[in-house]
């Protein structure tokens, strides 16, 4: 009898976690990845000699995040400083009293979200704003950073399911580097998009950019966008997977990195909201990890609009908001290093998943195996840790465990 094999489609946190687990269980496993690098939405680039995360950067729920141990095992440095989000350096454009009032309004909105989640029909997050509250626009802006979408598109039930311990750490050398490092020693084929999964026969047949592969079990970890209309087909078709994926679109978050000359007058790990009276505004991390850089973060409709304008649109918008807060001299000290375009990225088409209103059940439907030989993983499959790298990784381990059991039994 020939040995049973597995193929993992996608080399992100879910795929590499699954493949490593299968490999360590002794299952001959190949990873097939469309991009020319591993990591997927985890991506550490070297910019001006600095390791900068263009995708995930924060080990959320770090006190229970299994990727902390993964990074430490690689000898990487875990930075345990508290994140600066929510604070306003120098109270610029946002007085201390207003900050207190805003945080109170945000906490009250979150408490209403928690109280409503799972009770009665699902609703959108904007319905739980206090009508007329002056901080509603800033709360909505923060939703675009957290969820990649404005509150009008956000499911209260899904938001209520998200489990966050409130502890957030970083990897100095890059979160993306730690996740890509999971691929070391695995049988990984890059530049090889899978276009079709034929699961009608005795063995599963994959059509890829580099030819056909036959195998016994497949772990599919591509983003939901790829299952809706991203060029990956199942034969026979799996309409329930496509419908579940359509209920879990990817929200959008993008970053701009600006090199900062003479950084010393700005604090390390400072933070500024670009404006506090509109939804379309950036969140600026000053000198992250002590580097001479300002990182701007944009979500939702603003990110989409800036992506359409290209890197200069991000830089122009960010520098404009920063100049309004820090004075126009800052313009001469800032230079564009990089801007992301996750919506335009052909193998992501967005940043992280959110559930449309009423679509919370789509997460377990997406995650469910088919015939005990097609297994599904990826951040969108996670009920409690969706949208995160550690959530993706955990679904990868779970899918690998299910595949190992099925291969052993079949």
Ligand X SMILES: Cc1cc2nc3c(=O)[nH]c(=O)nc-3n(C[C@H](O)[C@H](O)[C@H](O)COP(=O)(O)OP(=O)(O)OC[C@H]3O[C@@H](n4cnc5c(N)ncnc54)[C@H](O)[C@@H]3O)c2cc1C
Residues that bind ligand X (CB under 6 A): 9-15, 32-35, 40-42, 55-58, 60, 193-194, 221-223, 226, 232, 253, 255, 340, 342, 347-348, 351-352, 378-379, 387-390, 392
Task: Tell which residue, 208, 180, 218, has the closest CA to residue 17.
Answer: 180
In whole angstroms, the minimum distance from the beta carbon of 121 to ligand X comes to: 28
Q: Could you give the 3-state DSSP secondary structure of residue 234?
A: strand
Compute the distance between CA of residue 65 and CA of residue 254 in angstroms, rounded to an integer: 23
Q: Select 60 or 373, whichever has its Cβ closest to ligand X.
A: 60
In whole angstroms, the minimum distance from the beta carbon of 32 to ligand X comes to: 5
In whole angstroms, the minimum distance from the beta carbon of 399 to ligand X comes to: 11
Q: Select 58 or 106, whichever has its Cβ closest to ligand X.
A: 58
Q: Select 333 or 387, whichever has its Cβ closest to ligand X.
A: 387
Phi-psi region of 23 (alpha: psi -120 to 50; beta: other; left: phi over 0): alpha
Spell out the residues 6+ positions from residue 239 whose beta carbon is closer than 8 angstroms to its own: none
User: What is the dihedral angle through the alpha carbons of 62, 65, 67, 73, rounded to the nearest 10 degrees?
Assistant: 80
Asked whether the beta carbons of 41 and 153 are under 8 A apart, the reply is no
Task: Tell which residue, 46, 51, 298, 17, has the closest CA to residue 171.
Answer: 51
Q: Select 62 or 105, whichever has its Cβ closest to ligand X.
A: 62
Task: Tell which residue, 300, 296, 301, has the closest CA to residue 316.
Answer: 296
In whole angstroms, the minimum distance from the beta carbon of 101 to ligand X comes to: 27
Tell me the C-alpha to C-alpha distance, in Å, between residue 128 and each of 121, 150, 216. 13, 13, 48
Q: Select 314 or 347, whichever has its Cβ closest to ligand X.
A: 347
In whole angstroms, the minimum distance from the beta carbon of 261 to ligand X comes to: 25
In whole angstroms, the minimum distance from the beta carbon of 265 to ligand X comes to: 27
In whole angstroms, the minimum distance from the beta carbon of 378 to ligand X comes to: 3
Q: What kind and span of H or E run contains 53?
A: strand 50-53
Q: Select 33 or 157, whichever has its Cβ closest to ligand X.
A: 33
Within 216-370, strands assigned E span: 217-220, 233-235, 250-251, 253-260, 270-273, 283-286, 293-299, 334-339, 352-353
Q: Select 105 or 253, whichever has its Cβ closest to ligand X.
A: 253
């Amino acid at each position: 009898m020939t040995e049973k094999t597995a193929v993992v489609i996608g080399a992100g946190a879910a795929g590499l976690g699954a493949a490593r687990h299968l490999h360590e269980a002794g299952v001959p496993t190949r990873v097939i990845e469309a991009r020319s690098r591993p990591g997927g939405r985890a991506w550490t680039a070297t910019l001006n000699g600095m390791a900068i995360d263009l995708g995930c950067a924060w080990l959320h729920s770090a006190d229970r995040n299994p990727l902390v141990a993964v990074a430490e095992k690689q000898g990487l440095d875990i930075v345990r400083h508290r994140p600066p989000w929510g604070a306003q350096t120098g109270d610029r454009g946002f007085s201390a009293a207003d900050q207190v009032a805003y945080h109170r309004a945000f906490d009250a909105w979150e408490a209403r979200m928690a109280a409503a989640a799972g009770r009665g029909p699902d609703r959108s997050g904007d319905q739980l704003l206090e009508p007329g509250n002056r901080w509603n626009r800033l709360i909505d802006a923060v939703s675009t950073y957290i969820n990649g979408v404005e509150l009008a598109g956000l499911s209260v039930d899904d938001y209520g399911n998200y489990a966050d311990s409130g502890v957030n750490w970083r990897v100095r050398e890059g979160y993306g580097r730690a996740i890509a490092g999971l691929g070391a020693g695995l049988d990984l084929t890059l530049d090889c998009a899978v276009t079709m999964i034929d699961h009608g026969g005795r063995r599963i047949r994959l059509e890829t950019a580099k030819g056909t592969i036959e195998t016994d079990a497949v772990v599919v970890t591509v983003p939901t966008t790829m299952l809706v209309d991203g060029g990956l087909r199942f034969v026979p078709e799996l309409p329930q997977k496509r419908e579940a994926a359509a209920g879990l679109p990817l929200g959008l978050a993008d970053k701009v990195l600006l090199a900062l000359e003479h950084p010393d007058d700005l604090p390390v790990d400072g933070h500024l909201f670009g404006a506090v009276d509109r939804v379309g505004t950036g969140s600026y991390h000053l000198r992250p990890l002590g580097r001479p850089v300002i990182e701007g973060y944009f979500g939702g409709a603003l990110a989409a609009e800036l992506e359409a304008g290209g890197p200069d649109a991000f830089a122009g918008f960010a520098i404009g908001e920063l100049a309004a807060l820090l004075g126009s001299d800052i313009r001469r000290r800032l230079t564009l290093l990089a801007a992301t375009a996750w919506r335009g990225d052909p193998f992501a088409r967005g940043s992280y998943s959110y559930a449309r209103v009423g679509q919370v059940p789509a997460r377990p439907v997406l995650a469910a195996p088919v015939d005990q030989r097609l297994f599904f993983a990826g951040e969108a499959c996670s009920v409690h840790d969706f949208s995160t790298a550690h959530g993706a990784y955990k679904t990868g381990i779970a899918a690998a465990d299910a595949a190992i059991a099925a291969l052993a039994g079949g």
